[in-house]
Structure formats: structure tokens, C-alpha cells
Chains A and B, each alone.
Chain A
């Protein structure tokens, strides 16, 4: 790619949830804004824009990424998966989503898309995670409603592990 001037745009092509999206973008356009405003992938939530809250977490070529810490131009030619990719085309929720519903692992739902994408990749890396593994992974997300406890239960449940509610104090 030749150099793109600060006030110029580059033509990029990104696959978003299986759909090709082509656009001319300025170098400084964040992937969050590309997904929200150009690809209309509204499942990507934008919280802190500094990589802390985790609401914008997506998968880029299968690897986990904060969309707010990625420029759209960096995703040129790559495939982005958002929360909208998880359910079946007829709307049937996948195993992880069903576990979230069953455990009341969300309330306002703002943080949920990011957590679902993190957990998706996390369970591929760690099919049988311990409770501590899940807690460490979740430390990359902020949730102000649930107290995290039901989220941990849901992810362990989705991993197919029977974890009776532990004695620990909900965190």
C-alpha cells in the first residue's frame, strides 16, 4: 500500500460477518467507527475508546481485538466477526448465547457483545477452563450491572463443565 496522506482516503475492503464492505477511509478512522457507521454492524458497542472497557471487542481473522485500538485501514483484506455472527441465520442463539440467557448473564447488555466475542475465542483456546481462567479473561471487560458472577457461570456452563456455584463471595 502506498502512503496515505492525513487528509486523503484509502479504498479498503473488509469482510464483516461474512458480508464484503468496501469503503474509502481516512487513516485515522477507528475500526469501531467503521463497523458502526459504515458497515452498520451495530452490535459493536463503543465505550471508552481507550482499550479498557472491552465493549468493542471483535475477532479479526479469528483473533481477538479491541476495535477501538485498531484502525479500519489495518483491517483491509481481513475478516471481522461481531456478535451478529454468533446466532444461526434463523435467529437461534448459539450455545454460549443460550448459556448467557439461562444464567441472566446480562442486564443492560452494553458490555455483552464484547464479552461474547472474547468468550468465543477464549473457549476455543481453553475448551475446559477453570473458574480462575474465566475470571482472568473477564478482567478485560467492564460490566456495571451483573457483578460478573452470572457471566462466569454462563461461560463455565457453555464450556460443558458442571460447576456448582462455588462458596466464593460473588465478585
Chain B
């Protein structure tokens, strides 16, 4: 199908883009467009105005700042995957990116676009939530930083206000004695995950082993569970199954997703634990 008519603006500065967001009704940001344009073609969305940010060079940066890597809204998934800072400092992101879309869509699709799109089965929202990362929002008259776990609301819905633009995401750097893992199950390598799981496992100084487990595809947003390793992961696996509130759709039943959530959760927790012992 073809998109419904829309007006098109290619601003030459971020302020111009933010002005348009503030003053215009039903305006959408167009970055890589790899999810947005498919939705427009299917007429799932009929925005009045598209604000194309592809030529705003100030959004193209990947910067190491304090203890995090900041990725601007113009950075493609392909560029992030190839970036040394991402590989060195944010291993979970580096391992998640090859699972995003296709080789052919990562060249235009952006990291921040995937976060803004907020598909509950998508890898990058899950990874950002598990790492405890942040979403950086700007409007013409204010800016704010929101933890990823508080940003996602429901399927394809976030707490971004209409006048705000997601200008960057903040990915916490790896820490010593910490392991990271992501796994997902889908019918084909590039399909939307039926269930995705990611984990961060950390060996604390007092000998405690703490974990953050994230699950995608199980409800309207990525779910994060915190817990500790007690010689077994059983308590967290129980919670993982309970986190499955969605499901029972064309692709899988809820019971099947609960079973998958347990299996994948165990796998990522064990992989991350093993890495934390070596790291």
C-alpha cells in the first residue's frame, strides 16, 4: 500500500525541528524510517507532518561521557555495531544489534528510533531497560532524562510528550566482574522475537551475586526483574514466568511464552553469570 498524504519538513537545525514539534499537530519525527515508513505504508499511522532529521549532523555522535556511551538520534544501528566504544564499553548493546531487523535495514534504522518506536518484542528497548540506561528528551523549552524502565508504557506507546523529541539514549558502560547476555526465540533469525531475554549479572564485593533480568515480547513493554543468585535462579525464573501477561496470539499461547520465558531467562542468567566470573 501507499502512505496517506503528509507534509514534509527537513529542518536544518535541531531548534527548527523542535519548533515544528511544538507548534504542529500530529507531527512525527522521521529518522531511519525502517519501522515508521512500513507503518505509514500500511496506513497504521497518518501523521500530518513528517520532520526528517536525517541531515541534522549534531545528532550523529556516539560519545563516551563519564560512565556511559551516549548515542545520538541520527546514529544508525549499523554505525553503532561498528563503533569501538560500543564494542568495548557496552557489550550487551553490541550483542543485541545483530538481532535487530535485517542487515539491509540496519544501514538506515537508528538505535534511538527503535527505542522511540517501543515495540515490546524489540531487542534495543529490552537491552536499554536491563542496563538501567536512560532516554534523553528535548523540547524547545526544556530537556529531561528519563530512565528507560519509566519511558516505555504500552505497545508502541511511551511517556514522551508530543512536543518532545528523543535526541539521544544513554547506555551505561560495563563494570568489572559483570556479565551480560541476550537470547531470543523467533521463527526465523530476523523475525520479531516471540520471547527475548537479556541479563546483567554482577559479583558484588561482599560475595553477593545480583542480577537484572529483562524480558521482551511478554507484555506491552520490556519487563525488568531484579534478584540475587542463591545457588539457584529458581526464584527469578518463577518471576519470569509470572511476567508473561501478554500472549495468546497468532504466534504463541501464553503458556508457551511462559515456558519460553523460563528457558531463555535461565540461559541468559547462566551465560551472564559465567561471564561475570571471568570478567
| Chain A residues within CB distance 8 Å of chain B | 1, 3-7, 10, 26-28, 30, 33, 49-51, 54, 57, 63-66, 68-71, 73-74, 118, 122, 136-137, 139-141
Measured CA separation A141–B34 after assembly (Å): 15
Instruction: Decide if the interface of chain B is mainly helix, strand, loop or mixed.
Output: loop
Q: Which of A10, A64, A136, A137: most chain B CB closer than 10 A? A: A64
Residue of A nearest to B41 (CB): A49
Residue of B nearest to A28 (CB): B3
Chain B residues positioned under 8 Å from A49 (CB to CB):
1-2, 41
Q: Quick check: B104 and A27 within 8 Å, CB to CB?
A: no
Query: CB of B156 within 8 A of chain A?
Result: no
Q: Quick check: A74 and B52 within 8 Å, CB to CB?
A: yes
Going nearest first, the 7 A-B pairs with the smallest beta carbon separation are A140-B102, A27-B8, A6-B5, A140-B104, A3-B9, A50-B38, A69-B37
The interface on chain B, measured as residues whose beta carbon lies within 8 A of the other chain's beta carbons, has a size of: 32
Residue of B nearest to A10 (CB): B8
Query: CB of B188 within 8 A of chain A?
Result: yes
Give the number of residue pairs across the A-B interface with Cβ within 8 Å: 94
Q: Quick check: B8 and A51 within 8 Å, CB to CB?
A: no
Besides A30-B2, A66-B34, 7 other A-B contacts (C-beta < 8 A): A6-B6, A27-B50, A50-B41, A51-B105, A69-B37, A71-B33, A140-B102
Residue of B nearest to A25 (CB): B8
Q: Quick check: A64 and B107 within 8 Å, CB to CB?
A: yes
Contact of B5 among A3, A28, A118 (CB under 8 A): A28
Query: CB of B54 within 8 A of chain A?
Result: yes
B232, chain A: closest CB distance, angstroms: 34
Query: CB of B189 within 8 A of chain A?
Result: yes
With A27-B5, A27-B8, A65-B107 known as contacts, the answer to whether A51 contacts B37 (CB < 8 A) is yes
Query: CB of B7 within 8 A of chain A?
Result: yes
Q: Quick check: A27 and B103 within 8 Å, CB to CB?
A: no
Q: Quick check: A7 and B5 within 8 Å, CB to CB?
A: yes
